[in-house]
Structure 1
Amino acid sequence: MWLELLFKFAFFYPITMSFFWISGAVYYYFRRERHEPARTEPPPLAEYPSVSILIPCHNEALNAQETIGAALAQHWPNLEVIAINDGSTDNTAEVLNALAALHPQLRVIHLDRNLGKANALRMGAMSAQSEFLVCIDGDALLDEYATYWLVHHFLEGPRVGAVTGNPRIRNRSTMLGKLQVGEFSSIIGMIKRAQRVYGRIFTVSGVIAAFRRTALHRVGYWSEDMVTEDIDISWRLQMDHWDIRYEPNAIALILMPETLKGLWRQRLRWAKGGVEVITRYAKQLNAWRQRRMWGVFIEYLCSVAWAFTMCFIFILYGLRHLIDVPQSLYVNSLLPGWHGMILAIVCLFQFGVSILIDRRYEAKIGRTYYWMVWYPMAYWVLSMLTTVIAVPKVLLGSRTRAVWVSPDRGFR
C-alpha cells in the first residue's frame, strides 16, 4: 500500500506543480506583460537616478571586454560600471585596466586573492556611488534597455528590495545547450512568474539581478559561506519583508555548460545552495510574520521528497535484478506506461505555453520545442541525483568560504 502511495506521489507531484506554474504564469502574462510596451520603447520615467553596475570577475579575460562593453552601452544617463577582479590568475587584471583607461565610466577594484563572488559583490557595493545596483556575471551581455526595466520597479515601490532579470542562453551548439534554452523559458521563467503571483520568489537569478543598497545594508549584504549567494540573499531580503520582483524585459545573454561534467557541477552547486538556505532559515519560518515564505518552503520540501521518492523507486527496480524482493516492493518497469505518457503530454503542454509567452523576448524560441521532448528524461534524472547527493553533503559537511571555481562556459 505504501509503495502505491509513493508511486502516486511521484506521478501527481510533477503534474500538480506543472499546472500550478502554468496557471500562475498565464495570469502573470495577462495581468502584467500583455499590455506592456515593446522592450526597446519603454515609457519615460519621472527621474533617472544614478545606477552602478557591479561585475565580479574571476579569470574572465576572454569575456570581460564583451561584458563591460554591453554594460557601458546601457540606455541610462547616469551610470557607472564597477568591475571587481577577485584574485584572477589569468590576465583579467590587464584587460580590465586597459578598458578602464578607455572608459571613464568604468572603475576597477583589484582583490589580491580569491575570496568568492559574495565578497566581490560586497566590495563593489561598498564602493558604489549609487543606491541602485545592477549585478551581473562576468560573462553576461546585458540588453541595452535592461537597466531601465530593472530600475523602474524600485521607483514604483519603496519596499522593492531586488528585481531579478531574464537570462537567455547564448551558446546553443549542442543538444544540452538547446535543452537549456527551453528550460530557462518553460521552467525557470515560468516558475518565477508563478511565484511572483502566488507570494514569494525562491531566488533571484545570480547572473542578472538589481538591488536597493539600503535593503542590502539592512540584511548584511551577501553571505560568504553559502555556495549560492543569490538564493541566500533572496531569502534574507524577503524574510526582512522586502519585495522581490521578476522583470522579463531585463534580458541578459549568458553562457551555460554544454558538457555533462560542467552541467553536473553547476546543478549540484544549485542543489547544495537550496539545501543550505532551507537548513539555515527553517527555524525562523515558525513565526507568523514569515507566513508569505511558507509557500516556497513547502514547494521546495516537496521537490526534495519527490527526488528521494524517485531515487527509492530506481533502487527497488535495480534490486529486483539482484535479489528476490517481496511482492509489495516489486517494481515491474521504469519504462513509461500510460502515466508516463500523461506526464509527457503535460510537460510538453507546459513547454508550449511558455514558448507562447516568451515569443516577445525571443522570436525564434519555438525552434527549441522539438528538443524539449528529451528534457524530462535528461533533466529530471539530473535533478533527482543532484538533490539526493546534495542533502547529505550539506547536512554532514561543514560551512567554509565559498570561493570561485571557474565554470564550464560551453562551446562557442
Structure 2
Amino acid sequence: MDWYEYLAVFVMLYPGIMAVYWTLSGLFYFLFWENRTEEPEYVFQEAAPMVSVLIPCYNEADNLDVSIPHLLNLTYPNYELIFINDGSTDDTLEIIRRWALEAEKIVVIDQPNNGKAVAMNTGARHAQGEYIVGIDGDAILDYSAIEYMIQNLENNPGLGAVTGNPRVRNRSTVLGKLQVAEFSSIIGLIKRSQSVVGTLFTVSGVIMCIRKDVLNEIGGWSDNMITDDIDVSWKTQIAGYNIAYEPRALCWVLMPETIRGLYRQRLRWAQGGAEVIMKYLKQIWRLQNIRLWPLYIEYFLTLFWAYTLFIITLFGICGWIFGYQHDFTPFKVASLITFMMFILQFSVSIFIDSRYERDLFRYFISCIWYPYAFWLMNSITLIHGFPKALLRDKHRKATWVSPDRGVQ
C-alpha cells in the first residue's frame, strides 16, 4: 500500500471507529445512568426553586401563537417567561404584549437588534430565578422538561448547566425526516457519550438550563461569538463546572428543510465550534482542564480527517484523469466495516431514543445511509468554517438572521 491508499483507508475507517466509540459509551450511559434515574418530585413541591425561561425573539411572529400556549402549560410550579424582542421588524412585539395581558408569568423586554447573546444577557439581568432556562422562539417544551433539568442541578452541585433533548417538529420533507434520524442516532448518542466523563462540546441553544450564579461568574453569553451556546458551554467548563445531557427534557424545534438552509446552519455550527476551539486554545492545556482534553483531541482528529478527505479526493480525481492505478481492496473492506458500524450505531441509538418517541424504527431503512451524508456535510462545513473562524472580526457583535424553519 502507498501513502494514498493508507489515507483512503483512514478516511473511510475514522467515521466507523467514532460510531463504535459513541455507541459503546452512549450505551454505557444509558444502562448505568439514564435507565436508572428516578422521576423528579418538584412538581409536588410548593417550594420549588424559581426558574426564569428566556426566549429571545427576532421575527418570530409566525411561531409565537403556537409556542406560547405550550409554555403557559408547563407542569413546573414556579417559573416566569421572559420574552426579549431583539429589534424584530414583524409583529413579534405586538404578539408578545398581547399574550402578556393574559398571563402574569410573561415579562416583555424590547431592545434594538443586537444578536441573541445580548438578548440573553438582557433577559438574565431581569430574571428573578435561581436557574436560567434558554430556548428559541419557535421551541415547544415538553411539559415536564424543566423539572428534569432542575432535578439534575439540584442533585449535583458540581453541575453548572444541563442541556435537553431537541426533537424535530417538521417532518414533511425528506430532509426533515432525515434530521429526525440524525438527532436520534448521531447527535443524541454523541451527547450521551460525552456525558460519561461529565463534559459536553455544547449545550444546545434551543434547550438549556444554567445556574444563575454560574452565569454571573462566567460573565454571561459572549456577544461576539457566532455560536453563543458553544461558547457558554466552554466558559462554564473551564470555570470548573461540569455540564450534562438530560434526554428526558424534550424540546420540539423547527429545523431547515432545504439544502441551502441546512448547509448555512451547519456552516454556522462549524465556524462557531472553530471559534471556540481557537479562543480557549491556551487555557485548555492547563492540568485543571484535563477532563476537556478528549473533546479537543476529537475535534482536531475530525478536522484532520476532513482535510484528508479533501486531499485524497483531489488526488483521486487527478489520478483518474492521468491514469494512475491504486489498489482499492483495503478501502472496500474499510467501507464495509464502517457500514456495519453505522448499522450498529443506528440500531442502538434508535432503541434508546424509542423510550422518548415511538415508531422511530420506521426511519431505519430510509435513513440508514444518512451517516454518510452527515460526515460528508461535516467535512465540507469544517473545511469552509475553520478559515472563516480564523479570519473573523473578533470585535464585531454576532447578530442573527432568521433561519430556514422548513415547511410547516
AA at the equivalent of 2:221:
W
Distance 1:12 1:78, change over 3 A: same
The answer for the alignment partner of 1:398 in structure 2 is: 393
AA at the equivalent of 1:171:
N
Cα deviation for residue 72 of structure 1 reads: 1.6
Distance 1:312 1:132, change over 3 A: same
Distance 1:217 1:61, change over 3 A: same
Shifted more, 204-213 versus 371-380: the winner is 371-380
Shifted more, 151-160 versus 114-123: the winner is 151-160
Distance 1:47 1:348, change over 3 A: farther
**What SS class does the counterpart of residue 36 from structure 2 fall into?**
coil
Q: Distance in 1 between matches of 2:288 and 2:45?
A: 34
**What SS class does the counterpart of residue 89 from structure 1 fall into?**
coil
The answer for the alignment partner of 1:387 in structure 2 is: 382
**What SS class does the counterpart of residue 126 from structure 1 fall into?**
helix
Q: Distance in 2 between matches of 1:331 and 1:313?
A: 12
The answer for the alignment partner of 2:32 in structure 1 is: 31
Q: Distance in 2 between matches of 1:92 and 1:345?
A: 48
1:51 pairs with 2:58: no
- The one-character-per-residue Cα deviations of 1:240-271 (angstroms, maximum 9, x if unpaired) are 01110110110000000000000010000000
Cα deviation for residue 15 of structure 1 reads: 1.9
The answer for the alignment partner of 2:154 in structure 1 is: 155
1:407 pairs with 2:403: yes
Cα deviation for residue 342 of structure 1 reads: 1.9
Q: Distance in 1 between matches of 2:85 and 2:108?
A: 7
Cα deviation for residue 131 of structure 1 reads: 1.3
Q: Distance in 1 between matches of 2:373 and 2:119?
A: 34
Cα deviation for residue 372 of structure 1 reads: 1.7
Q: Distance in 1 between matches of 2:9 and 2:334?
A: 10
Tell whether the 8 Å contact from 2:198 to 2:242 is kept in structure 1 after alignment: no
Structure 2 portions without partners, runs of 5+:
none
Tell whether the 8 Å contact from 2:9 to 2:334 is kept in structure 1 after alignment: no
- The one-character-per-residue Cα deviations of 1:181-205 (angstroms, maximum 9, x if unpaired) are 0110111110111101034111011
Moved over 4 A (4+): 41-47, 330-334
Tell whether the 8 Å contact from 1:348 to 1:372 is kept in structure 2 after alignment: no
Q: Distance in 2 between matches of 1:331 and 1:242?
A: 50
The answer for the alignment partner of 1:255 in structure 2 is: 254
AA at the equivalent of 1:108:
V
The answer for the alignment partner of 1:350 in structure 2 is: 345
**What SS class does the counterpart of residue 347 from structure 1 fall into?**
helix
Tell whether the 8 Å contact from 1:317 to 1:332 is kept in structure 2 after alignment: no
AA at the equivalent of 2:311:
F
Q: How many residues are paired up? A: 406
- The one-character-per-residue Cα deviations of 1:61-88 (angstroms, maximum 9, x if unpaired) are 0111222222221111111100000000
- Within a 5 Å distance, the mapping from 1:53-132 to structure 2 comes to 53-111=53-111, 113-132=112-131
**What SS class does the counterpart of residue 235 from structure 1 fall into?**
helix
Structure 1 portions without partners, runs of 5+:
none
**What SS class does the counterpart of residue 216 from structure 1 fall into?**
helix
The answer for the alignment partner of 1:10 in structure 2 is: 11
Task: Calculate percent identity across the aligned residue pairs.
Answer: 44
Which structure ranks higher in relative contact order (CA pairs < 8 Å, sequence separation ≥ 6)?
2
Tell whether the 8 Å contact from 1:59 to 1:92 is kept in structure 2 after alignment: yes
Tell whether the 8 Å contact from 1:313 to 1:331 is kept in structure 2 after alignment: no
Cα deviation for residue 19 of structure 1 reads: 1.2
Tell whether the 8 Å contact from 2:167 to 2:253 is kept in structure 1 after alignment: yes
Tell whether the 8 Å contact from 1:131 to 1:213 is kept in structure 2 after alignment: yes
Cα deviation for residue 286 of structure 1 reads: 2.1
**What SS class does the counterpart of residue 369 from structure 1 fall into?**
helix
Q: Distance in 2 between matches of 1:109 and 1:70?
A: 20
Distance 1:291 1:101, change over 3 A: same
Q: Distance in 2 between matches of 1:37 and 1:192?
A: 20
Cα deviation for residue 37 of structure 1 reads: 4.9
Shifted more, 52-61 versus 367-376: the winner is 367-376
1:367 pairs with 2:362: yes
Shifted more, 241-250 versus 7-16: the winner is 7-16
**What SS class does the counterpart of residue 83 from structure 1 fall into?**
strand
- The one-character-per-residue Cα deviations of 1:184-236 (angstroms, maximum 9, x if unpaired) are 01111101111010341110111000010111111110011111011000001
- The one-character-per-residue Cα deviations of 1:29-72 (angstroms, maximum 9, x if unpaired) are 11112234579x98856941111111000000011122222222
Q: Distance in 2 between matches of 1:54 and 1:224?
A: 16
Q: Distance in 1 between matches of 2:52 and 2:39?
A: 25
Distance 1:222 1:331, change over 3 A: farther
Shifted more, 198-207 versus 290-299: the winner is 198-207
- The one-character-per-residue Cα deviations of 1:84-125 (angstroms, maximum 9, x if unpaired) are 0000011101111101111111011001x2111001000011
- Within a 5 Å distance, the mapping from 1:137-286 to structure 2 comes to 137-286=136-285
From 334, 339, 350, the equivalent of 1:339 is 334
**What SS class does the counterpart of residue 360 from structure 1 fall into?**
coil
After TM superposition, the score normalised by the length of structure 2 is 0.95
Tell whether the 8 Å contact from 2:43 to 2:75 is kept in structure 1 after alignment: no
Tell whether the 8 Å contact from 1:53 to 1:71 is kept in structure 2 after alignment: no
Q: Distance in 2 between matches of 1:250 and 1:103?
A: 24
Tell whether the 8 Å contact from 1:45 to 1:152 is kept in structure 2 after alignment: no
Q: Distance in 1 between matches of 2:65 and 2:327?
A: 56
Distance 1:96 1:331, change over 3 A: farther
1:19 pairs with 2:14: no
Distance 1:43 1:33, change over 3 A: farther
Distance 1:345 1:105, change over 3 A: same
1:289 pairs with 2:291: no
AA at the equivalent of 1:379:
F
